[in-house]
Copies of this chain bind each other. A is one copy, B any other.
Amino acid sequence: MNFDWNRARAFLVTAEEGSLSAAARALGMAQPTLGRQVDALEEELDVVLFERVGRGLVLTPSGLDLLEHVRAMGDAAGRMSLAAAGQSQSIEGPISIAASEIHAAMLLPPVIAKLRALHPGITIEVVASSRASNLRRREADIALRNFAPTEPDLIARKVRDVPARLYATPDYLERIGNPKLPYDLRHAEFISIDGSGMFLKGLNAMGLNLTEANFPILTENYLVMWEYVKRGIGIGVQDGNLGDAEPLVRRVLPDFKPLIFPIWLVAHRELNTSRRVRVVFDMLAEELSKPTGRSAVDET
């Protein structure tokens, strides 16, 4: 194992990101540096890892074979990073929180303001991503999710249930005939936020009977969806507390039961030993449990 381990990391990230430039961005290094490290590793191991073809790199069979092992190194490095962060008992330092765009934009600001006021030494990075962050690879320290985690090495706490309702502008509701029953929505247009069909199934479980034809617009960005709804382009789903507080829109079926989305707070078990992570985790749990918006008793 007497080769340069940093060069191995350069190889790993390059292979996973697909290009030297992307890997350099991911590692916060310059692209020539990474290129030279990969070259040096090839010379060191006497193996050709990449085939330089055109504007990109493709793994050679040898490279593919070695990639498997360097991935194991990377996994172990990730676990080490987790354990190291868990050992840190300092209240000051960085914390990264992963959440969907809508959670990051709507739920987190007041909590983070309070956190900053109470613990000025804690610096916060918000990772707003549409897909669930991989906590085992330490893409974030703490994550907000809409589902309970299945991985056994994660610890989670359910902080609240969010009632989700359908919203649209009064103008749009007028245009489709002021629906009163789910059946009235059979020709309405919804703005979808996921491509997997889960959104459609959720709505049908609510009593509607929709098909893919009802979803002419797809975006993976929650804020984009909400903007479209506010401009009268279609119907969208929103947290009942937040939607009721938005003057531009109205509930589509005001008296129907909302869909219940749980919000889970998740962290890696290794991080439970870190004082800083615990402080942030506990504060998030407490603050997020408080109802937001104007209608606190909205949940059926």
Contacts and interface: CB of A to CB of B under 8 A. Distances in A.
B66 A72 contact: no
Interface in A62-76: 62, 65-66, 68-70, 72-76
Contact of A80 (B1, B78, B83, B90): B1
A28 to B, nearest CB: 8
A69 B82 CA distance: 10
B79 A69 contact: yes
Contacts of A85: 45
B79 A72 contact: yes
User: Which of A9, A72, A77, A81 is packed against the most chain B CB atoms within 10 Å?
Assistant: A77
A209 interface: no
A9 B6 CA distance: 10
Interface in A89-146: 90, 93, 137-138
A75 to B, nearest CB: 8
A147 interface: no
A133 to B, nearest CB: 15
Interface in A1-47: 1-6, 8-9, 27-28, 45-47
B4 A77 contact: no
Nearest to A73: B76
A88 B46 contact: yes
Interface of A: 1-6, 8-9, 27-28, 45-47, 62, 65-66, 68-70, 72-81, 83-85, 87-88, 90, 93, 137-138
Given A1-B9, A1-B137, 19 more contacts: A1-B77, A2-B27, A2-B28, A3-B77, A5-B6, A5-B73, A5-B77, A6-B6, A45-B87, A45-B88, A46-B87, A47-B87, A66-B83, A70-B76, A70-B80, A72-B72, A72-B79, A73-B73, A75-B76
